Structure 1
Amino acid sequence: MRKLILLTFVLCSVHLMSHAQNMGFVYSGDVKFLNQNNDTLQFPFTGGFTAPQFNNVDLNGDGKKDLVVFDRAGDIIHPFIYTGTASGDVKYRYAPEMRQYLPKLTSWVQFVDFDHDGKEDIFTQANPADATVDTFIINNNIRVFRNTSTGSTPSFALKTRKLMEGYPKAAPPNFDSDTIPNGLYCNPIDRPCFVDIDNDGDLDQLTMFILSGYVELWKNFQVEKGLPNGTFFFRQTDPCWGGVLISETVNLGISCYKYYFKSNAHFGTTIAAIDLDGDGDKELISGDVATDHLVNTKNGRIENNWKHNGFSSDTMISSDTIFPRNTIRPKFQSGLAAYFVDINDDGKLDLVVSTNNLTGTRTKAQIWYYQNTGTANVPVFTYITNNFLSDQTIDEGGRFAPALFDYDRDGKNDLLAGTYGNWDQSLNAKDRLVLFKNMGTNDQPVFKQTDSNYLRVDTMNLSAIKPAVGDLDRDGKPDILLGLGNGTMVYFKNTSSASGPSTFAAPVRDFANINVFSFNSPCIYDMNFDGKNDLIIGNENGTIHYYRNKSVTPTGYTFSSVPDADTLGQINVTFQGFLYGNSSPALYNVKSDSMIEMLVGTYNGRIRSYRIHVNLESQFEEIDSVLKQPEWATYSNASVASTGRFIPYVGNLTNDTIPDLLVGTNYGGLLFYKGVYRGDMTAIIGYDTVKVLGPNSAKKITLENAFSIYPNPAKDNIIIERTSQKEKEKVIVEVWDLTGKRLFEQELSEKETGMSIPESKLHKGLLIIRILNTSGEQKNWKILKH
């Protein structure tokens, strides 16, 4: 048995030690990021985009068409409110709070008005959990929600859990046969199309054959049967709509039954139907997992007056592998999808092209916007940009792992992140570090990316890197550890001078021969308070490994390749039904009961929270989450997304002594949660427990104006001076740096008027002067030491 270790204080990834018993992290957009032109990003904290789908709907009842961007990666809804003031404006506000009014969406979604009330309804993948004794549901089935919005608050009511055909496939007039009807379907990795194909006033469905390759037409007979508006009465009228077979190429004039089981067709096809030439029939725009382009297939129904089973028959007469024409062509590795939406509020459908693939294609500059410069009836699509929306958010392509790091030693926290970047350049095997310099202050940080390939780690052919920053060798300078996808780590020793920008020795691979098998997610901190930083490491299995630093020398480190605890706290965050857990730990202060709290990022989109007991081999208590999303009414441990590696980092971004939370996503972006107090709180200040008054307390903190601290900035000694000689009391004066190290501690008696903190006890950078009295009150001052 391993020894039981008493934790008197633990903090990992926290730079200013202050924690509320009732503290929470609330989603915020307050921290600024700049682009390369020094313009402020309008919505930096979306979390990034991977496989976004685009739909119009009026969310706030102002008569303008807003955007709902649904990302198939993680099943994340991104609402954007249109804020343009004139036709032609392309201006949006990110509105994540609108998520609370939208149903949970999965795999694909299409907003389209089926009941002619002027409000877009929702078609999306069915949820097998909605199955009943009478209704069998699989994820190929389709759910429908009716838009019931009134005023400025959107609402959607479930119309059907499983969209059914109205009668069997027998030809008319046998509409009311007793044969059991089938459910309409769409493979989860395809994308169907709901559109009025025959211009009779009701919505029909185009979808891929269940074994792929062929486009099926499910005609809605609501009008023909005289049914009420908004009624669905589907029948499959054409199993090979248009005579089209989609595989690596688009083949025309195909007899479906002849080729049903002879084609090399496959899943992963996106389809959209739109009249491009103004003749009244719909062309087919398709993308495929096996091709790097869109195909425009022309419909010849009107020109040739074709019939099938007595109905007007759509027949495709030509295909064009360059779409759109006469402009810059979108070209990804695979899986293109076309979305026809009004982006600039001019009443005409524009074109947005993205990828429907989760992997194997570009992950940056993958949202192409083409403005319709033609007419509503005969559109002409003109290229505008390849980073629509993504140019206003942090999106490095994929897998963003953040850490705060003052790389230039100017006393301000900068931001370091590991990412695999754009897939078509990195191929998920040439990850890199990106550096965002703090161009503002510690109180009001403003970040700008100044190095897109910090330390040039892309030349090392690393995958799934997760940085951890901390002083491993006890020389007073922060080192960098990179956790890797193969379970090992790379060590960068900081060799810079005490005041200069960080420089590093040649990287050391297979650090300490530690291998957690896969997706190493390290965290550096002195776990047992012996003055030596230890390692707390997450992994793909969902457990947490603890490695104690066993060095017996004043400097350096000694780690065993065998963990001191291989399932710390008996934690395993692998969710039922998932193969992976992808644990990523971040620890922060506790109340005065010898416990700490730990946030753990997971693969299923949750940030889980634990209370750690003094016995590291005991089972840690899982507690209510401290996280609050804009769409959540309360703090919760619900999923932020359905899948994806989420990497938390707790640190202070706004210099207010309350730690904040950064969460890197699997989609290349970042989420920011502001640390807030939810009432009175108990904090651990340094290594001592004191009472700090929260916003609900009526007691006044008397230290607020009792001391003057100068100079600021300071070049040598720092002076502490009482501003009032009345009601003097004994206090403790402490000095902390941003790594959580206490540099100085001394009592100031009630008889003393002040003190001088010698320069020998200080080092350069931002320092925190903390004064505590015997009543448990405290006050912090920020001092910049040159």
Structure 2
Amino acid sequence: MSKTIFFVIAICWNISLIQAQFGFEFSDSIPVEIGNDQLKFPWSGGINHAQFSTIDYDFDGLNDLFIFDRSGNQIMLFKTIEENGDYTYKYIHNAASLFPEDLRYRVQLIDYNGDDKVDLFTYGIGGIKVYKNTGNLIDGLQWEVVKEVLKSEMPNGSFSNLFVSSVDIPALYDVDGDGDLDILTFNIGGQRIEYHKNTSVENYASTDSLIFKLENECWGKFIESDVSNSIDLNSNFGPCANNGLNIPEVTPRHSGSTVLAINLNNDNYLDLILGDVSHRNITALFNDTLHANPNAVMDSLDINFPSNTTPVDIPIFPANFYLDVNHDSIKDLIVTTNASGSSENKESVWYYKNNGTNEVPNFVFSEKGFLQNQMIENGKGALPVLVDLNNDGLKDLLIGTYFQYLDPADKISKIQCYLNTGTSSEPKFKFITDDWLSLSNSGYALRMHPTFGDLNNNAKQEMILGRADGLLSLYKKTGPGIQDYSLEEITLKDYMGEVIDVGQYASPQLFDITNNGRLDLVIGKKTAGLVYYENIGTKNQYSFKWVTDDLGAIDMGNIYQTDNYSTPHFVRHEDSLHLFVGNQIGNIHYFSNLDQDIIDDNPFVAASKNFANINTGGFSSPFVSQLTDDGRYHLFVGTDLGGLWAFVADKDSEPALKLTKQDTAEKQILVFPNPSKNGIINIKTPALKKLQLKVLNSLGQVIITKELNQPLNKIDLSTYRNGVYTLLFISDSGDFTSKKVIIK
């Protein structure tokens, strides 16, 4: 057996780390309502700047919905479910594990080699990188790099990168109708469309190669303005005058265009839909039908497409996608924003239903916020907090946010409120307001982060609000209502009367760090380090004393992102102190058994720097709480995309996290050889230790279950496809550990 080694993973893990990794599982069981409607995908994490494709990811014959979000390079999957002829979507969590790890800026899924499996086109340095889909029903999705970057033959016979800007989305389309996939993309100057012809069929009588030649340097014979998105049709500028034969001097303009190739009127001549950076509209360009597609000439346009209905008006930089999203076999038009961090991010997916046919589409506006209106969505960078606002014994949900986009010069931060209208065993959240306490009018700028606690022993939850300017404000609870709060101190001060100021982006938590019955104050911030103020007052009167700006010496930055934007969350479990910290990178650092480290002022040693394999793509924010009366913990994680992921302690880890248990025998499990060339794996287990083994494939499916009763055991994976498999070892006590093996 000879295959590529896909991953190299350490195989000996500390059991406390393993318990952390497997202590929680994703759960969408808690219902969320807006008005009288229950959201279909409340815990799917939000959407900012999405790119849409379809893929049959599980090879069941049904196309599923694939979304790549430029904001944090996040991947989402919605599986198509068919029941008695009715079709629905189901959100699939952690879909990123099914795709290559280096996807960034853009992802387009399209079958280039005619095997009825969509392949993957993404950003390569200065152009396009291509992965071939080699998966199947048994082994699941598999990807093979076929081109690190596409090349194209220039008119002078040399080969260069087939240039596509990192902010552009090209059209991948069979322009000349010969069966292989051609590319239409704006030139490096950004004013005209280049047609790169795929010569696979001509050279090899097959579509399975990606060999390109720059065939036309002014495809469509139009020029886009270098200062706006206006179009000059039938242009004679540069190569446009000579049917695309010369390369003029490049004049760089504003960078950013999206191209959708589509036949809009069933005349067999290719039309275009363009989106442009800094603009809100999309423009349709229509072929004159006098020239064959390889030498197309656009002779008319619709600058407010589609003008027969509500035209696109979405700030800013629209991107267009043509696919069936309502399961009627007719392709619809989806329009999204493509300017990461600087365009609409709350209702950024516009859905135009195709009331015509695939041959003669008739796009009719259907809704803003497609999919987003079925999930918790608060713009960019969600910050979840659970607190009982109305003293009914049930914890309600507040969600802060980094910002919601308003226009190019204006962003706003709000806190959403969801009231828990369920029970102590079955929580249910109901949307109350998008702007709790009207804090968007407070002048606090962006990223408001609240924390709650009884600071004066009056059985009421005061609120300390972290602000973008690094300051904190104190609010007093004034009544039983969920919005009965009034500003007590505009700037919180310490016991000496000094203003508490952490620089930028304060993310506070009130928590009894020292376990003395008084709530201390820990504050995350933009730069590295957690700021710690000990409460030296009494239960009836808080008094915060600065201790350190670097509690635990925690730094979660890297060489690319030196800032932290830390969001700390302490939990006391079984009388032991634990800490979860979110950060700008998007993962969660977990620290266990910290009481002695607090006393001795020791650096905290992370039990995991990638807790539960959670990665939000940026600005993660964890909140752990016992939401129900069964003793199990719930973990809510705010994502960069403005929504939440929800996790619950695995039922096998009752009563809750089990983060403190140690089992030194588990460390002694040995797996060898690894990698294995013949598929035979030896497993050495501790003496007198009975374990159950489950072997999981790349889809997470259990393919082997076996009792390990001997000190030395063997498993045979030689009949399975080469790749990475997970070995899950479960003890009689319910503890488990995991190891990865590679078959090559």
Q: Same fold (TM over 0.5)?
A: yes
Shift of 1:590: 5.2
- Relative to its length, the structure with more strand (as a share) is 2
Does residue 1:493 correspond to 2:476, yes or no? yes
Q: 8 Å contact 1:141–1:162 — kept in the other structure?
A: no
Shift of 1:62: 2.9
Does residue 1:606 correspond to 2:592, yes or no? no
Paired residues for 1:642-721 under 5 Å? 642=617, 644-676=618-650
Q: Deviations over 1:546-584 (max 9, x none)?
A: 011232x55222235xx4111111111112211421111
Q: Deviations over 1:643-681 (max 9, x none)?
A: x21111111122322322111122210111112366688
| Alpha-carbon distance change, 608 to 466 in structure 1, aligned in 2, over 3 angstroms | same
Does residue 1:169 correspond to 2:169, yes or no? no
Structure 2 CA distance, aligned partners of 1:223 and 1:21? Answer: 53
Q: 8 Å contact 1:246–1:265 — kept in the other structure?
A: no
Partner of 1:464: 447
| Alpha-carbon distance change, 161 to 678 in structure 1, aligned in 2, over 3 angstroms | farther
Structure 2 CA distance, aligned partners of 1:152 and 1:80? Answer: 21
Shift of 1:265: 2.3
Structure 2 CA distance, aligned partners of 1:22 and 1:398? Answer: 26
Select which of 100, 105, 112 maps to 2:110: 112
Structure 1 CA distance, aligned partners of 2:239 and 2:167? Answer: 24
Partner of 1:618: 602
Q: 8 Å contact 1:683–1:692 — kept in the other structure?
A: no
Partner of 2:615: 640
How many pairs does the alignment contain?
627
Structure 2 CA distance, aligned partners of 1:438 and 1:681? Answer: 23
Shift of 1:344: 2.5
Structure 2 CA distance, aligned partners of 1:475 and 1:522? Answer: 21
Does residue 1:25 correspond to 2:45, yes or no? no
Gaps of 5+ in 2: 1-18, 241-246, 494-498, 667-744
Shift of 1:339: 0.3
Does residue 1:305 correspond to 2:291, yes or no? yes
| Alpha-carbon distance change, 125 to 278 in structure 1, aligned in 2, over 3 angstroms | same
Shift of 1:475: 2.6
The code of the aligned residue for 1:434 comes to Q
The code of the aligned residue for 1:96 comes to H
Q: 8 Å contact 1:25–1:627 — kept in the other structure?
A: no
Select which of 485, 502, 514 maps to 1:504: 485
Gaps of 5+ in 1: 1-19, 127-137, 171-176, 629-635, 697-786
| Alpha-carbon distance change, 533 to 481 in structure 1, aligned in 2, over 3 angstroms | same
Structure 1 CA distance, aligned partners of 2:656 and 2:344? Answer: 47
Paired residues for 1:399-418 under 5 Å? 399-418=381-400
Report the secondary structure of 2:606's partner residue: strand
Partner of 2:231: 251
Report the secondary structure of 1:464's partner residue: coil
| Alpha-carbon distance change, 674 to 358 in structure 1, aligned in 2, over 3 angstroms | same
Select which of 227, 235, 240 maps to 2:213: 235
Structure 2 CA distance, aligned partners of 1:509 and 1:600? Answer: 27
Does residue 1:283 correspond to 2:271, yes or no? yes
Q: Deviations over 1:205-256 (max 9, x none)?
A: 1122234333222111112223433111101122232233335223223424
Partner of 2:369: 387
Identical residues among aligned pairs (%): 29
Structure 1 CA distance, aligned partners of 2:420 and 2:139? Answer: 38
Q: Deviations over 1:475-503 (max 9, x none)?
A: 3211111111111112111233xx67662
Which deviates further from its counterpart, 160-169 or 598-607?
160-169
Shift of 1:158: 1.6
Select which of 65, 68, 80 maps to 1:67: 65
Does residue 1:296 correspond to 2:274, yes or no? no
Q: 8 Å contact 1:213–1:266 — kept in the other structure?
A: no
Shift of 1:160: 1.9
Report the secondary structure of 1:107's partner residue: coil
Structure 1 CA distance, aligned partners of 2:643 and 2:549? Answer: 30
Q: 8 Å contact 1:23–1:677 — kept in the other structure?
A: no
Q: 8 Å contact 1:220–1:235 — kept in the other structure?
A: yes
The code of the aligned residue for 1:423 comes to Y
Does residue 1:559 correspond to 2:529, yes or no? no
Q: 8 Å contact 1:198–1:281 — kept in the other structure?
A: no
The code of the aligned residue for 2:341 comes to T
Q: Deviations over 1:148-175 (max 9, x none)?
A: 23237642322424233364433xxxxx
The code of the aligned residue for 1:539 comes to K
Structure 1 CA distance, aligned partners of 2:50 and 2:291? Answer: 37
Partner of 2:243: none
Shift of 1:425: 7.4
Which deviates further from its counterpart, 248-257 or 674-683?
674-683
Q: 8 Å contact 2:589–2:611 — kept in the other structure?
A: no
Does residue 1:335 correspond to 2:317, yes or no? yes
Does residue 1:533 correspond to 2:531, yes or no? no
| Alpha-carbon distance change, 62 to 262 in structure 1, aligned in 2, over 3 angstroms | closer
Shift of 1:26: 1.8
Partner of 1:707: none
Q: 8 Å contact 1:467–1:522 — kept in the other structure?
A: yes
Which deviates further from its counterpart, 599-608 or 239-248?
239-248
State the TM-score, normalized to the length of structure 1: 0.74
Which deviates further from its counterpart, 243-252 or 253-262?
253-262
The code of the aligned residue for 1:266 comes to H
Does residue 1:517 correspond to 2:500, yes or no? no
Q: Deviations over 1:504-550 (max 9, x none)?
A: 23352221111111111100012223332111111111321101123
State the TM-score, normalized to the length of structure 2: 0.78
Paired residues for 1:45-444 under 5 Å? 45-85=43-83, 91-96=88-93, 98-104=95-101, 105-126=103-124, 138=125, 140-151=126-137, 154-165=140-151, 167-170=153-156, 179=158, 181-247=159-225, 248-252=228-232, 253-254=234-235, 255-256=237-238, 265-300=253-288, 303-305=289-291, 312-419=294-401, 422-424=404-406, 429-444=411-426
Partner of 2:457: 474
Partner of 1:546: 532
Report the secondary structure of 2:215's partner residue: strand
The code of the aligned residue for 1:522 comes to P
- Higher RCO, 1 vs 2 (CA within 8 Å, ≥6 residues apart): 1
Q: Deviations over 1:162-198 (max 9, x none)?
A: 233364433xxxxxx6x4x322232221111211111
The code of the aligned residue for 1:447 comes to F
Q: 8 Å contact 1:440–1:447 — kept in the other structure?
A: yes
The code of the aligned residue for 2:419 comes to K
Report the secondary structure of 1:223's partner residue: helix
Whose radius of gyration is greater, 1 or 2? 1
| Alpha-carbon distance change, 34 to 379 in structure 1, aligned in 2, over 3 angstroms | same
